[in-house]
Chains A and B, each alone.
Chain A
């Protein structure tokens, strides 16, 4: 049964109070109050999630799914509650469509290896986009090498938007999978995944969506989106590290062979033959990251209590404010200027290397990411060595943005 959670929309949210629930933000770095703008890499964890994980370790820990004893049952219940909450959170039709993984990368590898080995053959085409994270490129390259399939790439324009006419032209009877990112971790672009999915489905092609940067920032509805596979990570949405989700349509998952062998994923094992456990456990070999999974259930309640619509609105407001502030700085260029963006700003400073900028910002207590952000093909596309990236969360403030803008001006004076 689907768990019902509180309604999503609220007004007059006390964002200062929400920010105060993140203990890690209350510290100084290099003698200055921390401004944390590396949320795209990993977001921070609120107190109640930390408390939940602690309580699990203090009172409830045992291995899950196998024990007859009470403690094991308690741990299993806590761990399985997450599945129900995730199902409700992303509006999946069935609970067993929620597969626990170690994160987005693991989820995509699972689909590439399990679905790909069964269905791909020589000269089949896997269609990805020019703005994929390496985690949505390399798993497909590996399975392509193993099966003789070929990778094709949807190009993008200078604003960092996919060329949809090219996409439609690339779809053919050879296409056996479309794998695209929902929100670009480097450019912030929100891709038109509904259109991408509908077009692929009209030709009977399944679609995997890398939602690592989408689920933390907006309401994502599996039934409305109709994605065949959807992957995301707990630690980018105020949850613990080492835990993630693969959503997959039940009929597809049922048809796929196991990805890894081990305990929990079996029905019956003899030395001659093993039969598989049912979904979702067929894909969950070995002891999972239980405490992280238990903590993630609390993360989802936390996000539901704020409301994803409210989070999206708050982050859009901060994005707009930050874009205005940064665009006003001479010699700063934003990379990724789509109309439809999540709260990620990649930027370049004229004649200053991003790592130099990042080093000086760090001295000012400002945490941004520099480099290629695991998207080297994007850097090649824009012919740049890397960028500095500020990724904004709902718990950031306009003061954080002001500090960033002042920090950037300081960097420009420094070099």
Chain B
């Protein structure tokens, strides 16, 4: 499934939800289904700056695609993290760098995107793009 199809599917899933309560409950549920991050990866170097809750993010390159893993100690943040992973993980660096997560607005979570918002969703997206750029430049060099 390409990134656009993934985005459309996320938006459709949220369209079925009636109100903010259902949307947040769904986000929390998505968080609980996130693949667990190894405890060894929950280190300060992997913390995303700018989050009031702790968010650990790791990235690796496999067959030209960036694989993200993440976890958070807060339930809503973890749900948002899981959405971002579903959106960006397994994509090429170019796709990650060039695609904005427009679905955030469409699912009614735009207020979480503010760069100063304490849950740090904006910081998380920035960090994912930085990883993608780093992988891209190391690919170009090798």
List A residues 8-51 near B (Cβ within 8 Å): 30
Residue B77 interfacial (CB < 8 Å): yes
In the complex, are the beta carbons of B25 and A356 less than 8 A apart? no
Q: What sequence of 0s and 1s flags, for each residue 400-415 of chain A, a beta carbon within 8 Å of any chain B beta carbon?
A: 0000000000000011
Residue A138 interfacial (CB < 8 Å): no
Please report the number of residue pairs spanning A and B whose Cβ atoms sit closer than 8 angstroms: 41
| Bound Cα distance A415, B73 (Å) | 13
Given the complex, which residues of B lie within 8 Å of A353, measured CB to CB? 53, 73-75, 77
Q: What sequence of 0s and 1s flags, for each residue 349-378 of chain A, a beta carbon within 8 Å of any chain B beta carbon?
A: 000111110111001000000110000000
On chain A, which size bracket covers the interface?
A: 10 to 19
List A residues 377-415 near B (Cβ within 8 Å): 385-386, 414-415
| Bound Cα distance A77, B83 (Å) | 58
| Bound Cα distance A356, B76 (Å) | 6
Query: What's the least CB distance linking B31 to chain A, in Å?
Result: 10
Given the complex, which residues of A lie within 8 Å of B28, measured CB to CB? 415
- A355-B53, A355-B76, A385-B53 given; A414·B21 CB < 8 A: yes
Query: What's the least CB distance linking B25 to chain A, in Å?
Result: 7
| Bound Cα distance A385, B52 (Å) | 9
List A residues 326-366 near B (Cβ within 8 Å): 352-356, 358-360, 363
Query: What's the least CB distance linking A87 to chain B, in Å?
Result: 37
In the complex, are the beta carbons of B20 and A363 less than 8 A apart? yes
| Bound Cα distance A355, B50 (Å) | 13
| Bound Cα distance A415, B76 (Å) | 10
Given the complex, which residues of A lie within 8 Å of B119, measured CB to CB? 355, 359
Residue B14 interfacial (CB < 8 Å): no
With both beta carbons as reference points, the residue of chain B lying nearest to A386 in the complex is identified as B52
| Candidate in B20, B53, B54, B119 with the most chain A CB atoms within 10 angstroms | B53
| Candidate in A355, A370, A414 with the most chain B CB atoms within 10 angstroms | A355
| Bound Cα distance A395, B110 (Å) | 32
Query: What's the least CB distance linking A157 to chain B, in Å?
Result: 27
With both beta carbons as reference points, the residue of chain A lying nearest to B111 in the complex is identified as A362
Given the complex, which residues of B lie within 8 Å of A414, measured CB to CB? 21, 24-25
In the complex, are the beta carbons of A355 and B24 less than 8 A apart? no
In the complex, are the beta carbons of A356 and B74 less than 8 A apart? yes
- The listed residue (B20, B21, B54, B75) touching A356 by CB distance below 8 A is B75
Given the complex, which residues of A lie within 8 Å of B21, measured CB to CB? 363, 414
| Bound Cα distance A353, B118 (Å) | 13
Q: List 20 A-B contacts (CB under 8 A).
A: A30-B20, A352-B75, A353-B53, A353-B74, A355-B53, A355-B76, A355-B118, A356-B74, A356-B75, A356-B76, A359-B24, A359-B76, A360-B24, A363-B20, A363-B24, A370-B118, A385-B54, A386-B52, A414-B21, A414-B24
Contacts A353-B74, A385-B53, A385-B73 supplied; 15 other A-B pairs, CB < 8 Å: A30-B20, A352-B75, A353-B75, A354-B52, A355-B53, A355-B74, A355-B76, A355-B77, A355-B119, A356-B53, A358-B118, A359-B24, A359-B119, A363-B24, A415-B75
Q: Which residues of B approach A to under 8 Å, CB–CB?
A: 20-21, 24-25, 28, 52-54, 73-77, 118-119
The 6 closest A-B pairs by CB, nearest first: A353-B74, A371-B52, A355-B53, A355-B74, A355-B52, A356-B75
